[in-house]
Structure 1
Amino acid sequence: MSVDSEQAQTHRCYRHPDRETLVSCSSCGRYICTSCMTPAAVGIRCPECAGGSASGGRRRMVSPGSRGAVVTMALIVANVLVFLAQLVQSGSAGAINNRIVADGGVDALTVADGEIYRLVTAAFIHAGIAHIAFNMFGLWILGAALENYLGSPRMLLIYASSVVWGSAGAILLSPDALTVGASGGVFGLMGALLVLSRHRGMEMMRSALGPVLLLNLVFTFAIPGISIGGHLGGLAGGAVAAAILGGFGRGHMAYGRLTPILGAAAVVLVIGGIIAGVGAAHLA
Structure 2
Amino acid sequence: MDQQPPAGQEPQPVGGPVGCYRHPDREAGVRCTRCDRPICPDCMVSASVGFQCPDCVRQGSGTGHHPAATTPRTLAGGTVAADPRLVTKILLGINVAVFVLVLAKGTALVDDLVLLGRANFYYGGPPEGIAEGQWYRLVTSMFLHQEVWHIAFNMLGLWWLGGPLEAVLGRVRYLALYLLSGLAGGALTYWLAAENQPSLGASGAIFGLLGATVVLMRRLRYDMRPVFTLLAINLVITFNPWGGIAWQAHVGGLVAGALIGFGMVHAPRERRNLVQFATCAAVLVAVVAIVIARSAALT
* CA contact 1:119–1:274 (8 Å) conserved in 2: no
**Are residues 19 and 281 of structure 1, via their aligned partners in 2, closer, same or farther at CA, if it must alter by over 3 Å?**
farther
- Secondary structure of the residue that 1:215 maps to in structure 2? helix
Counterpart in 2 of 1:184? 204
- Secondary structure of the residue that 1:108 maps to in structure 2? coil
Match of 2:289 among 270, 275, 280: 275
**Greater relative contact order (CA < 8 Å, ≥ 6 in sequence):** 1
Mapping of 1:1-284 within 5 angstroms?
18-19=16-17, 28=22, 32=26, 64-65=80-81, 67-90=83-106, 98-109=107-118, 110-175=129-194, 176-204=196-224, 206=225, 208-222=226-240, 223-247=242-266, 259-283=273-297
Superposed CA deviations along residues 44-101 of structure 1, whole A, max 9, x for unmatched, are xx9xxxxxxxxxxxxx8686146331111111111111111111112xxxxxxx1221
Superposed CA deviations along residues 176-211 of structure 1, whole A, max 9, x for unmatched, are 31000000100010001111222334452x2x2110
Percent identical residues? 31
Larger Rg: 2
* CA contact 1:164–1:277 (8 Å) conserved in 2: no
TM-score by length of 1: 0.71
TM-score by length of 2: 0.67
The 2-side partners of 1:181 and 1:272 are apart by: 21
The 1-side partners of 2:12 and 2:206 are apart by: 27
Structure 1 counterpart of 2:286, one-letter code: G
Superposed CA deviations along residues 78-133 of structure 1, whole A, max 9, x for unmatched, are 1111111111112xxxxxxx122111111222111111111111100002111111
The 2-side partners of 1:150 and 1:178 are apart by: 33
Gaps of 5+ in 1: 1-12, 34-45, 47-59, 91-97
Counterpart in 1 of 2:75? none
Counterpart in 2 of 1:4? none
The 2-side partners of 1:232 and 1:283 are apart by: 22
The 1-side partners of 2:96 and 2:112 are apart by: 17
- Secondary structure of the residue that 2:266 maps to in structure 1? coil
- Secondary structure of the residue that 2:239 maps to in structure 1? helix
The 1-side partners of 2:233 and 2:248 are apart by: 17
Aligned length: 229
Superposed CA deviations along residues 134-160 of structure 1, whole A, max 9, x for unmatched, are 101100110111101111111111111
Q: CA deviation at 1:264?
A: 4.2
* CA contact 1:192–1:242 (8 Å) conserved in 2: yes
The 2-side partners of 1:161 and 1:278 are apart by: 17
Structure 1 counterpart of 2:99, one-letter code: F
The 2-side partners of 1:17 and 1:153 are apart by: 37
Structure 2 counterpart of 1:85, one-letter code: L
The 1-side partners of 2:192 and 2:210 are apart by: 21
Structure 2 counterpart of 1:18, one-letter code: G
Q: Which stretch of structure 1 is more off in the superposition, 166-175 or 121-130? A: 166-175
Q: CA deviation at 1:260?
A: 4.5
Superposed CA deviations along residues 231-263 of structure 1, whole A, max 9, x for unmatched, are 001101111111111237xxx989xx9725522
- Secondary structure of the residue that 1:259 maps to in structure 2? helix
Q: CA deviation at 1:266?
A: 1.2
* CA contact 1:184–1:235 (8 Å) conserved in 2: yes
The 2-side partners of 1:190 and 1:151 are apart by: 17
The 2-side partners of 1:283 and 1:167 are apart by: 17
The 2-side partners of 1:14 and 1:88 are apart by: 54
**Are residues 267 and 29 of structure 1, via their aligned partners in 2, closer, same or farther at CA, if it must alter by over 3 Å?**
farther
* CA contact 1:154–1:258 (8 Å) conserved in 2: no
> Over aligned residues, Cα RMSD in angstroms?
3.1
**Are residues 260 and 101 of structure 1, via their aligned partners in 2, closer, same or farther at CA, if it must alter by over 3 Å?**
same
Q: CA deviation at 1:273?
A: 1.7
